[in-house]
Amino acid sequence: MKYIIGFFFIGAITFAQTDTIHLLDEVKLYGNFSPQINSGYQVQILSDSIINNHQQSLGNLLQNQANLYFKQNGNRMVSSISLRGSGASHTGVYWNGIAINSSLDGQTDFNTFSANGYNQIEIRKGGGGILFGSGAVGGAINLRDKIIFKDKFQTQINLGLASYDTQKGLVRSQYSNQKIYAKIVVEGNKSANDYPYLGTDIVNENGAFKNYHIKSVLGYKINQNNQLQFFATLSDNDRNLSRTLTSPSNSKLTNWQNRVLLNWKNFGQAYNSSLKVAYLDEEYNYYSNKESSDYTFGKSKNIILKYDFKYFISSHISLHSGIENKYSTANGSSLLDKYRNDFEAYALLHQNPIEKLQYNISVRKGFSSVYKIPLIYAADLKYQLSSGLNIKANFSTNYRLPTYNDLFWNPGGNPDLLAENSKSGELGLGYYQNKLSINLTSYITKSKNLIQWRPETPTYWKPINIQDVMSYGLEFEFKTQQNFGKHMLELQSQYAYTVSKDNVLDKQLIYVPYHKATASLNYTYKDFTVNFNEQYNGKVFTTTSNTQTVNAYWLTNLEIYKSFLKQQLTVGVLVNNLFNTAYQSVSYRPMPNRNFEFNINYKF
């Protein structure tokens, strides 16, 4: 508690200063995450400098920087998100605008994704079914590579050595001129991950992992009106699945993902369009005994064709529309060989009739070879109450389609499943000044027909459309930056209060914390930076009867960086879990004790 009070205290002091500075949000958005067509929503941007100052998993980055809650099965093990009290498959994850949640289980394991190499990560909270399709109920996260045609040739090498025999290496090279853009990022991580469980004599046995990721981006400016973009990523994760306090483990999980995307952008006087073709390939192998050659697997291949068209009728009215077709196949040890085809179309009308007001109304409808996709609609608005003070509101209906596992798992898979559906409303107040921003948002979501696996007999389970959930909450965001000569101080803090209840049981869902807060204090003096990050994770229930919990915890991370040679060389020391707190994300799975990382970043 004392740390948080400290932060708000420091915040209050900085708030009292009245120098003129500007906040970091100058980055321009585009596409379906653009603020223009998300008038009534909160969109948070993580910039290149935050993403890439050291190597970390996407899950760790979002947990530290965006106050998002993750349920981690132990350090670097399977990590799933719960955004606004929603389930693990209710946050849409996008890669340059293409949905990449697994076709098998509808989720993203945030520890198999590297955050590094992206230029920007966009987080849009709230229902986003119209623009983002199935699964964007709690929110949507986009990993974005930005292609900018200007003369630049830079290579960056990042090396990290950390506790538990952890080694990290990354090379990022970018070449661009007025016509061509090329970027390649190659990254590898390896760790024994054998940290001690505080307060016991057990260490995190069987926790070793290694992974590598290759990302490449190519851009070609054909002319003023046409651009070709190509994106590809390959990622290979090999993890032993660590033990728990009460059971040893000898199992292993490997995940392999390959994604390719070709995008043709065409701009006209009053329109712009984008035609995307993407191929996504995913596979996992699970070894119940890592020494055995026996494993179970699942894999899917997806071909996505997506066309977005934006037409600017006047300077005040624009029409945004798109169609998307996804063809996918899947098979696996417990999956029958199946395919499905989903076609969806959306339209959105944007208008700002007066300077102070902008709004959007939108609709989406889909057709599938396997189930019925509901018609959904939404409206949102932003109204400027006075200078620096605005009000945002939105209403949306959303859905999530059953996944391959839900439909075709053997045993239990239920081909008669319906799409889940939900309704969301949100009201927010924002205050912006050049040195300060404050946001306060409240929301409510009612979800129906949520798919749950229930025991059909004691021997096998079957998914059914059964659960109704009501979620509501408050989010608070505070951000300020102050300069004192060459000293710069930045403070960001976020707090979320989340209630998410099963309507039948009238109990909070398991692994949804009522309280979650993050505060980050960044101090910069010339070539020297100190970042102090504090997190609070409220208690979560582990039984649906809310009788058992994982305790709340505070977590403090400290990062210190010093640059040399005109910023070319940066040396960093990171201390995670500074106060050596014993904590768990999932019950009986202790997380690491105090640990260190030494990091060198060299650019030329």
Partner 1 sequence: MKQFKLLTVLFLVAVLTYSCAEDDSPQLPKGDYEKGYFITNEGPFQNGSGTISFVDETGNVAQSIFKSVNHKDLGSVVQSMALHDDFAYIVVNNFHKVEVANRYTMKSIATIEGDDIKNPRHFVAIGNTGYISNWGDAGDATDDYIAVVDLATNTVTKKIPVGEGPEDMLVDGNKIYVNLQGGWSQNNKVVVIDTSSNTVASTLEVGDVPNSIVKDASGTIWVLCGGKPSFSGTETNGKLAQIENETVTMLDFGTAKHPNHLTLDGSNLYYDLNGKVFAMSTTATELPTAEVSGLDGSYYSLKANDGKLYATNAGDFQSEGSLKVYDLSDNSLKETVVTGLIPGSVVFQ
| Residues at the interface with partner 1 (CB under 8 A) | 73, 244-249, 288-289, 292, 294, 410-412, 454-455, 457-460, 510, 542-545, 547-548, 586-589
Nearer to partner 1 (CB atom), residue 252 or residue 326: 252
Nearest-approach distance from CB 438 to partner 1, in angstroms: 38
- The letter for the amino acid at 305 is L
Nearer to partner 1 (CB atom), residue 334 or residue 433: 334
Nearest-approach distance from CB 509 to partner 1, in angstroms: 10
Nearest-approach distance from CB 320 to partner 1, in angstroms: 42
Pick the closest to residue 204 from 251, 255, 164 (CA basis).
164
Q: How far apart are CA 441 and CA 131, in angstroms?
A: 21
- The letter for the amino acid at 545 is S
Nearest-approach distance from CB 247 to partner 1, in angstroms: 4
User: Are 45 and 562 contacting, i.e. CB atoms less than 8 angstroms apart?
Assistant: no
Nearer to partner 1 (CB atom), residue 503 or residue 543: 543
Q: How far apart are CA 424 and CA 419, in angstroms?
A: 16
Nearest-approach distance from CB 78 to partner 1, in angstroms: 11
Nearer to partner 1 (CB atom), residue 341 or residue 410: 410
Nearer to partner 1 (CB atom), residue 51 or residue 586: 586
- DSSP-derived letter for residue 242 is P
Nearest-approach distance from CB 406 to partner 1, in angstroms: 15
Question: 479-510 burial, b for 16+ CB within 10 Å, e for fewer?
Answer: bbbbeeeeebbbbbbbbbbbebbbeeeebbbb
Question: Would you put residue 483 in left (φ > 0), alpha (ψ -120 to 50) or beta?
Answer: beta
How many C-beta neighbours within 10 Å does residue 436 have?
A: 20
Nearest-approach distance from CB 253 to partner 1, in angstroms: 13
CA angle 573, 578, 584 (to 5 degrees): 125
SS3 category, 458? coil
Nearer to partner 1 (CB atom), residue 373 or residue 540: 540
Nearer to partner 1 (CB atom), residue 295 or residue 371: 295
Nearer to partner 1 (CB atom), residue 460 or residue 579: 460
Q: How far apart are CA 540 and CA 196, in angstroms?
A: 23
User: Are 260 and 281 contacting, i.e. CB atoms less than 8 angstroms apart?
Assistant: no
Nearer to partner 1 (CB atom), residue 131 or residue 540: 540
User: Are 3 and 556 contacting, i.e. CB atoms less than 8 angstroms apart?
Assistant: yes
Nearer to partner 1 (CB atom), residue 449 or residue 531: 449
Residue 441 C-alpha from the chain's centroid:
19
Nearest-approach distance from CB 42 to partner 1, in angstroms: 32
How many C-beta neighbours within 10 Å does residue 528 have?
A: 13
Nearer to partner 1 (CB atom), residue 113 or residue 408: 408
Report which secondary-structure segment, H or E, holds 58.
helix 58-66
Nearest-approach distance from CB 594 to partner 1, in angstroms: 24
Report which secondary-structure segment, H or E, holds 132.
helix 129-132
Question: 547-582 burial, b for 16+ CB within 10 Å, e for fewer?
Answer: eeebeebbbbbbbebebeeeeebbebebbbbbeeee
SS3 category, 129? helix
Nearest-approach distance from CB 225 to partner 1, in angstroms: 55
Nearer to partner 1 (CB atom), residue 531 or residue 537: 537
CA 604 to each of CA 170, 175, 524, 570: distance values in angstroms, whole numbers, following the listed order: 14, 12, 22, 12
Residue 111 C-alpha from the chain's centroid:
11
User: Are 206 and 238 contacting, i.e. CB atoms less than 8 angstroms apart?
Assistant: no
User: Are 103 and 300 contacting, i.e. CB atoms less than 8 angstroms apart?
Assistant: yes
Nearer to partner 1 (CB atom), residue 74 or residue 219: 74
- DSSP-derived letter for residue 418 is P
Nearest-approach distance from CB 579 to partner 1, in angstroms: 25
Report which secondary-structure segment, H or E, holds 478.
strand 461-484
Report which secondary-structure segment, H or E, holds 48.
helix 48-51
Nearest-approach distance from CB 507 to partner 1, in angstroms: 9
User: Are 425 and 126 contacting, i.e. CB atoms less than 8 angstroms apart?
Assistant: no
Nearer to partner 1 (CB atom), residue 458 or residue 485: 458
Nearest-approach distance from CB 59 to partner 1, in angstroms: 18
Nearest-approach distance from CB 216 to partner 1, in angstroms: 38
Residue 332: strand pairing partners: 298, 335
Nearest-approach distance from CB 244 to partner 1, in angstroms: 5
Q: Which two tokens stand for residue 604?
A: 């030329």
Nearer to partner 1 (CB atom), residue 247 or residue 386: 247
| Cβ-proximal residues to 333 (8 Å cutoff; 6+ apart), any chain | 296, 297, 298
Q: What share of the chain is helix, strand, coil (3-state, %, to 5)?
A: 5, 60, 35
